[in-house]
Amino acid sequence: MNDDRLYNNTRNLNENDTGSNKYHQYNLISKTLHKIKPFLRENLIITDFILRQIWWIGLRNFFKNHSNHYIAYNNIESSWSYDPKFNDKKDLTFMIQNMTDLASYLKKKDIKLTLMIHPHPASILYDTKLSLYKKTWQEFCLENCDNFIDSFSPFFDLEKDKNEIIKEFYIKGDIHLNKNGNKFQFSHLIQNYN
């Protein structure tokens, strides 16, 4: 898929929507980085490695839109399952088609497909346990997967403040799980295989 298609598609955001200006600013930074990263990775391997280390050590925390945009209610990358204005059927169809293609390829190679889902931090704040995200991939797996592991719901079963869940289980300013989050998710993985 063409990178420009990914980053030029602003899904007709209304400039008056809360957060959309942040999205456009973030999108410009992201688009630029995605053009530079492959060049660095292929031509300046050591420079690429050093820059990644500097970024993850803490430089990313100096960018206001990096540290909180990912968790905004109307972030188009994470809002499609709970905010109808971002629920673009074409994009959902595109995601499902890509996963269907992957499932077909794996089936031809006699490789089993297991899909494990967990929530985006914004999902924890704004979505529900009965999310469209969960429903979409659960239905997909009925026909295409050997196993479906729901590590999405257990985050909603926790009797904690939603912000505390994010603080405890996610890397600060990031959508990825931290050490505690990986342990929590692993415990659900083991339950599904025992």
Provide block-wise average pLDDT over 10 residues at a time, the chain (194 residues).
Answer: 36 39 47 70 75 62 53 65 71 89 96 93 90 93 94 92 93 86 90 73
Domain ranges of the chain: 1-77, 88-194
| Rounded distance between C-alpha atoms, residue 72 and residue 22, angstroms | 10
Task: Give the residue among 130, 152, 132, 153 at the shortest CA–CA distance from 82.
Answer: 132
SS3 42: helix
CA–CA separation, 72 and 155 (whole Å): 19
Query: In the numeric block, which tokens belong to residue 96?
Result: 């499902």
User: What is the token pair recorded at 143?
Assistant: 């026909």
| Cα distance between residue 48 and residue 38, in whole Å | 9
pTM over 0.75? The answer is: no
pLDDT of residue 164: 94
What pLDDT is attached to residue 93? Answer: 86
